[in-house]
């Protein structure tokens, strides 16, 4: 019995010694973690592949950036060969980052440089971002590069339409009982019944869009047996918009809003339209207004080429400002 106990004791001791040896072996392979921290003390920017300093980086510029760095470690543990660096997503594309293995050291901290070459500026932001490591210690570094000038999309100002310099004449219609100003060179359409309809057409020689729609301004009078109201004017306007929709190839009316012309109240509406005469398609814009005055409704409609509506709208506004019931 004693013999067996002695053998068991010997085996246990041998096993404990073996486990202790294995633990020591594993402890020796555990990497040590660095305790220091990285700091950027300065940087220098040069045009890629040259020694020319760059102080103005714009979108698309290619540059090389050298970072001057320190590794602060109270324990004094530093080995340039254990330092590694990698690029992160930032304001630059491309580029290769490397630690300068020939960097020197100073007392109390360890100085070295990182060179990031062939970077291309994206045009947004001003940051260069790197991940620097020493053994198992990793630190993200972000360096603001003040030389970067962010890209701003150029603003293309539309060419303003010229302001018309028409000479106006006062036109009076005794049969319709109205007067207003109209460009003196515009032609009165003789084909209309001038007891109820007046239409002025811009001469072809003055057209701002020579091969476009010929601008015209039409004034119509509708008589009724009873005094008319703004509500009657709206009903008439809605009917006119329906008629116009049937006249044009395409037609789109804006919202209806209140109007006042010559002291009479009513409603108006802007619209867009196209018309194909079999040889060409015309693009147009216009406005139509209907106001109530005594037992009559007065309708005023301007139709112009789409691109020149704001120009010809001056004519409408001049008519509205000078319109009178005589």
Q: How confident is the model at residue 59 (pLDDT cuts 50, 70, 90)?
A: confident
Whether residues 113 and 187 fall in one domain? no
Whether residues 306 and 274 fall in one domain? yes
pLDDT at 291: 98
pLDDT at 29: 35
Handedness of CA 44, 47, 51, 54 (dihedral sign): negative
> Nearest-5° angle of CA 131, CA 132, CA 133?
120
Query: Across the strands, what pairs with 264?
Result: 261
Whether residues 129 and 278 fall in one domain? no
Whether residues 215 and 122 fall in one domain? no
Whether residues 70 and 132 fall in one domain? yes
Write the DSSP string, 47-96.
ETTSS-B-S-B-TT-EEEEEEEEEEE-TT----GGGEEEEE-SSSEEEEE
Choose between 130 and 102: higher pLDDT. Answer: 130
pLDDT at 79: 80
In a domain, 8, yes or no: no
pLDDT tens per residue, range 68-85: 998 887 676 678 888 899
Q: How confident is the model at residue 11 (pLDDT cuts 50, 70, 90)?
A: low
> Nearest-5° angle of CA 253, CA 161, CA 275?
35
In a domain, 319, yes or no: yes
In a domain, 26, yes or no: no
pLDDT at 19: 47
CATH number of the domain within which 119 lies: 2.60.40
Q: Please say whether the beta carbons of 257 and 269 come within 8 A.
A: yes
pLDDT tens per residue, range 292-317: 999 999 999 999 999 999 999 999 99
In a domain, 161, yes or no: no
Whole-angstrom Cα Rg for the chain = 43
Q: Please say whether the beta carbons of 59 and 75 come within 8 A.
A: no
Residue 193 lies in domain: 168-325
Whether residues 174 and 138 fall in one domain? no
Q: Please say whether the beta carbons of 300 and 261 come within 8 A.
A: yes
What is the number of structural domains in the chain?
2
Name the domain boundary from 109, 144, 179: 144
In a domain, 162, yes or no: no
Give the integer Cα–Cα distance in Å for 145 and 115: 14
In a domain, 2, yes or no: no
State pTM to two decimals: 0.54
In a domain, 262, yes or no: yes
The residues near 180 (Cβ < 8 Å, ≥ 6 apart) are 170, 171, 219, 319, 322, 323, 324
Q: Please say whether the beta carbons of 293 and 228 come within 8 A.
A: yes
Whether residues 240 and 180 fall in one domain? yes
pLDDT tens per residue, range 215-246: 999 999 999 889 999 999 999 999 999 999 99
Whether residues 130 and 49 fall in one domain? yes
In a domain, 286, yes or no: yes
Whether residues 125 and 52 fall in one domain? yes
- Mean pLDDT in residue range 149-178: 85
CATH number of the domain within which 271 lies: 3.40.1000.10
Whether residues 112 and 172 fall in one domain? no
Whether residues 106 and 229 fall in one domain? no
Whether residues 133 and 278 fall in one domain? no
């Amino acid at each position: 019995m004693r013999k067996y106990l002695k053998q068991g004791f010997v085996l246990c001791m041998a096993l404990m010694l073996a486990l202790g040896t294995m633990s020591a072996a594993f402890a020796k392979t555990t990497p040590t973690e660095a305790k220091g921290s990285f700091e950027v003390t300065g940087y220098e920017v040069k045009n890629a592949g040259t020694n020319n300093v760059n102080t103005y980086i714009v979108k698309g510029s290619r540059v090389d950036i050298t970072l001057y760095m320190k590794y602060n470690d109270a324990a004094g543990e530093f080995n340039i060969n254990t330092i590694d660096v990698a690029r992160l997503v930032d304001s630059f594309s491309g580029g290769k980052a490397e630690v300068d293995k020939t960097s020197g050291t100073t007392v109390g901290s360890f100085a070295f440089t990182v060179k990031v070459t062939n970077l291309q500026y994206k045009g947004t932001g001003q940051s260069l971002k790197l991940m620097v490591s020493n053994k198992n210690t990793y630190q993200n570094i972000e360096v603001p590069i003040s030389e970067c000038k962010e890209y701003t999309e150029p603003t293309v100002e539309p060419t303003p339409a010229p302001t018309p310099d028409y000479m106006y004449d006062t036109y009076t219609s005794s049969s319709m009982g109205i007067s207003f100003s109209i460009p003196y060179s515009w032609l009165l359409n003789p084909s209309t019944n001038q007891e109820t309809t007046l239409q002025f057409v811009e001469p072809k020689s003055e057209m701002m869009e020579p091969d476009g729609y010929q601008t015209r301004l039409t004034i119509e009078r509708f008589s009724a047996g009873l005094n008319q109201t703004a509500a009657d004017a709206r009903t008439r306007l809605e009917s006119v918009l329906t008629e116009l929709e049937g006249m044009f190839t395409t037609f789109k009316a804006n919202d209806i809003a209140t109007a006042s012309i010559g002291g009479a109240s009513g409603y108006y509406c802007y619209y867009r339209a196209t018309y194909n005469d079999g040889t060409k398609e015309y693009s147009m814009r216009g406005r139509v207004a209907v106001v109530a005055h005594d037992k009559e409704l007065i309708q005023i409609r301007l139709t112009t080429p789409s691109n020149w509506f704001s120009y010809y709208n001056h004519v409408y506004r001049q008519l509205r400002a000078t319109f009178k019931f005589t």
